[in-house]
Structure 1
Amino acid sequence: MSPAKSPAASQRSYHHGDLRRAVLTAALEVIAADGPSALSLRDLARRAGVSHAAPAHHFKDRAGLLTAIAAEGYGLLAQALADARDLREAGVRYVRFAREHPAHFEVMFTPGLLRGDDLELATARALAADALRTAVSAVDPGDRGQDAGLAGVAAWSLAHGFATLLLGRNLDTAVGDRDPEEVFHTLAGMLFHSAGPHGRQD
């Protein structure tokens, strides 16, 4: 006969070591497989092996969980873009991020699922935006014109559109057996040039 669990053991089981991380990981797996609409806090609790009320303790509800995923995603994106040498490298890193974190990527850009007033989310978004602006500042002024803000939108649109089409398998024929990141680097080079210390660089 197995010994009965002590109150301390039950408490450890409830807290699951790092319950928040366990629930986030389970949620990301569900989203990657079936999309955000498949999320259920009760199902995630079952997957994490904890009480059905435990996820609500950390996230309150489904929107809170998705907002936490989006905030984490923007933080990871900011880290990915940091110290990129130029705009093309930043774009390649953006595409790589989307490929490596498809569940984060999907949730981050579905604002209807998120709490728009969440401070953690707003801070993480700002960090990612700052990283993109830094990359835009390295573009040759002749390519970005007088409006660096619009240049940033153009660069983001190119990287985001490519990543979204890629994840949706809409570029399978166009990309073929080539490395998608190399393909994007070539596309970005058609539109943007980096400004080095001696002028334009390809």
Structure 2
Amino acid sequence: MALSKLFFILNIAIFVSSVFSYQFEVGGDEGWITPSSANFTTDIDEPYNVWASHNRFRIGDTLHFRYENDSVLVVGYEDYKNCTTTNAISEFDNGDTVFKFKRSGFFYFISGQPDHCTSGQKMIIRVMHPSEYTPPHMQPQSPESAPSPGTRALGPSGDSYSSSTRVSAVAAFVVAALAAPLVIIYLFI
């Protein structure tokens, strides 16, 4: 009986920790600005895409855009590619925008100033599907979709964990540490 109570509480703690989200600061200290050699350390055409490629985004995570005399547009792929500002899906111009991911898939962001976009102030974000970050033992799998022996499940490769992954791990630890006294009390009452 006590073991089943412990198992139940631990499953609740794991579930609660998995719903934590992370807010990413677009552009770091600089914010959402037009890339130039003066404000970016490398001479790359699309520094925001390089930044995005080093992070893992999940449903529920948010992007925080800070900017002045500019805007953030959420657009489709063709408008992203061509820096077209007239067909925006969403437009933000308050200088302090938080955008929340409510689904997996690709999101395309551009500056509302066409010359800023063509200068590299644009970004593609890929939000992972929950099956890519849910532990394999917690994923329901049909025999057809189960990985074959010897293959690895999708997840962080090597030692390069994003800040979102670290935050989730810390959150899980904190929830478990806070829940431990409650578990002990619950088991002995």
Same fold, TM exceeding 0.5? no
User: Relative contact order (C-alpha < 8 Å, sep 6+): which is higher?
Assistant: 2
Higher strand share: 2
Q: TM-score, normalised by structure 1?
A: 0.27
Q: TM-score, normalised by structure 2?
A: 0.28
